[in-house]
Structure 1
Amino acid sequence: MIDLDIRQLQSFLVVAQELNITRASARLHLSQQTLSTQIQQLERALGVTLLVRTSRGVLLTPAGDELGRGGSAVISDLGALTDRVRAADRGRLGTLRVACCPYATALFATEVADAMEAAVPGLEVELTTVRTPPEERDLLLTGAVDAAFMWLPLGDNRFQHAVVRGDRRAVALPAGHRLAEQDAVTLADLADEPVLRPDIYLSEENLCHWLADPRPDGTAAPRGPRQATIEDCLLAVARGKGVWLAPEPLSRWIPASTVEWRPVKDADVSELALVWTGQTSQPLIARMIAEVRAVTGWAAETD
């Protein structure tokens, strides 16, 4: 491949426009000797003669004429590429659409959106709220959003993810339940309690995590009846139909006067992740992961 010097090419294009070394050197703020040297170096690199001097200036050879026509396009394309590269570095890529369930992200979603827009000039972050993770999944798969905040595990290899937060688990108990007198409970305490299942789970793997199934001793978690929504699940808890395990932040945003929340000391931590597909801008995702972790305090090395 020929090693072309962009400055030499730019100088030649000015000469090709002016057809005069004196006028071209004045436009370029170069001495005539320096400009002539650049043209000679370009000719040596290409192995052709680009112009010939006359009493009135210079004339382009067929090779020079071809370079004059094609070189302008090269410089134009290079300038556009430079602009795109710099824009990508700043993240000027339009809009980043992010889906979230308010219960899971209410503590930080708007803060993250504001931080992204401040860190990436020209970017607009659109937050779309949905009620359940399956809705988030559908929006991702249809391309309606670029990313989503979702609880792991997903049990779906169509997505990529990065953990941005970890939360201990809590259990919703009926008011007056025998365990409500304790400050915290264990999974052994819940061994005989059927766990209710709102219709929000993405896969069997996802469901098993929320149920803490199997339990530490290898036994299966007792499965309670399915419920259409989280709200229906809490009503069923209040009526003594079972208990519900959830990440602790949800207990702060969906309280109920007839439900008692208690931390579960030995349940696995629930991890919240930023989730995306292969169609999403990777530089923007990388920047957003960093911004979310800065807000939540999650350490990347714990992934």
Structure 2
Amino acid sequence: MEIRWLEAFVAVAEELHFGRAAARLRLAQSPLSQTIRKLEKELGTTLFDRSTRSVALTPAGHAFLPHAHRVFEELELGRQATRATAGVVYGTVSIGFSGALNHLTLPPLTRAVRQRYPEVQLSLTGRVMTGDGVEQLEQGGLDIAFVGLPIDPSPVRTRLIGREPLGAALPIDHPLARESAIDLADLADEGFITTPAAAGSALQELATQACVKAGFRPRVVQEITDPYMILTLVSAGVGVALMSSGVAGIMPSSATFVPLRGEPTYMDHALAWLDDNPSPVLKAVLALAEEVLPTPER
């Protein structure tokens, strides 16, 4: 079995079209088809169902695809390892983050990586809630995720990087918008805008807990995955929201952030990763993160 056979298989599996796969590999379609047939003969099974109109993976093809991907992942790790012996940190790190909630933590890390390790490529994915981030880490889709604590029991490791009390995001024409601080119970009759509970949002869970502690369950009028869009909808007068205090500096012009009186409910921000991820570049980025995003004292 040759590497080029696997390259051909992965291209056809991802494109599900021999013509597009051939163009991607800069081959004629006939040699590509011959290569796939050689691989199928080597494996003793059919990898694709072919017709004049479509190409689809067989069950055997579906089963083989993650192993083919793993071969190329191992080759990339080997490439990184050889560069590391020369003192060069090289490779790609995929990072998931929620958006506005990480505006004080994501930029210092990405800026430091670009300055310290210019050959490292950053693959950034936004609108990643805590539950989604943990799941993608477990499945190998992300190397690092910005999450809220606590998380459910998981092989994922976390490190606290920030603590911010929850406060209220209000439209500027709200009766309480000019107060220096308010009681959360004052918002019991309001409609709330939240991140989706189904996405495993730590912010949504904390906000609900804080409201219940204040004596009411929040009436949710809108769910949306993008935290900054929550602020935008507050600005538009759709409802109010509970957000961590870090967003106070990025409020839209028609919204304001008001602190809450009483015992604070803290949003604990953390980095999450898998210990058994073998990527040398991940270890370098995590070490750098300890410099630029140290764990705060509780």
TM-score scaled by structure 1? 0.56
Matches within 5 A, 1:199-278: 199=196, 202-203=199-200, 207-213=204-210, 215-216=212-213, 219-230=215-226, 233-234=230-231, 236-238=233-235, 240-253=237-250, 255-265=251-261, 266-278=263-275
SS in structure 2 of the partner of residue 149 of structure 1? strand
Which of 115, 127, 133 in structure 2 is aligned with 1:131?
A: 127
Choose which of 131, 147, 153 in structure 1 pairs with 2:150: 153
1:210 maps to amino acid: A
Question: Displacement of 1:165 after TM fit?
Answer: 1.3
Mind listing any 5+ residue stretches in structure 2 that lack a counterpart? 1-80
C-alpha contact 2:156 2:275 (8 A) present in aligned 1: yes
Aligned equivalents of 2:256 and 2:180: distance in 1?
Answer: 11
The alpha-carbon deviation at position 282 of structure 1 amounts to: 8.4
Match of 1:189 in 2: 186
Give the C-alpha shift of residue 298 in structure 1: 3.3
> Counterpart of 2:41?
none
1:274 Cα shift? 0.5
What is the match of residue 292 of structure 1? Answer: 289
Q: Is the 8 A contact 2:160 2:268 kept in 1?
A: yes
Q: Which digits, 9 at most, give the CA deviation of each residue in 1:31-75, with x for residues without a partner?
A: xxxxxxxxxxxxxxxxxxxxxxxxxxxxxxxxxxxxxxxxxxxxx
In structure 1, stretches of 5+ residues that fail to align are 1-83
Indicate if the aligned counterparts of 2:94 and 2:122 stay in contact, CA closer than 8 A. yes
CA separation in 2, counterparts of 1:273 and 1:95? 21
Q: What's 1:113 paired with?
A: 110
Residue identity in the other structure for 2:267: S
Asked if 1 retains the 8 angstrom alpha-carbon contact of 2:203 and 2:267, the reply is no
Query: Percent identical across equivalent pairs?
Result: 22
> Equivalent of 1:179, from 171, 176, 181?
176
Q: Secondary structure at the match of 1:237?
A: helix
Q: Distance in 2 between matches of 1:212 and 1:89?
A: 51
The 8 Å contact of residues 151 and 272 in structure 1, kept in 2 or not, is answered as yes
Q: Note the C-alpha offset of 1:178.
A: 1.6
- The change in CA–CA distance for 1:277 and 1:202 in structure 2 (over 3 A counts) is farther
In the superposition, relative to structure 1, how do residues 220 and 227 fare at CA in structure 2: closer, same or farther (>3 Å)?
same
| Greater mean alpha carbon deviation, residues 197-206 or residues 86-95 | 86-95
Shift of residue 273 of structure 1?
0.7
TM-score (norm 2): 0.57
**What secondary structure does 2:124 align onto?**
strand
Contact 2:196 2:204 in 1 (8 A): no
Instruction: Please say if residues 201 and 207 of structure 1, whose CA atoms lie closer than 8 Å, have aligned partners that are also in contact.
Output: no
Instruction: Note the alpha carbon deviations across 1:234-254, whole angstroms, 9 max, x for none.
Output: 45534544310111223433x
Deviations 1:72-119 (A, max 9, x none): xxxxxxxxxxxx799489684633322223423333434323434665
The code of the aligned residue for 1:272 comes to H
* Cα 1:115/1:275, change in 2 over 3 Å: same
Q: CA RMSD in A?
A: 3.8
The residue number in structure 2 matching 1:3 is none
- SS for the counterpart of 1:150 is strand
Q: Is the 8 A contact 2:92 2:123 kept in 1?
A: no
Q: Helix, strand or coil for the counterpart of 2:176?
A: helix
AA of the residue aligned to 1:259: A
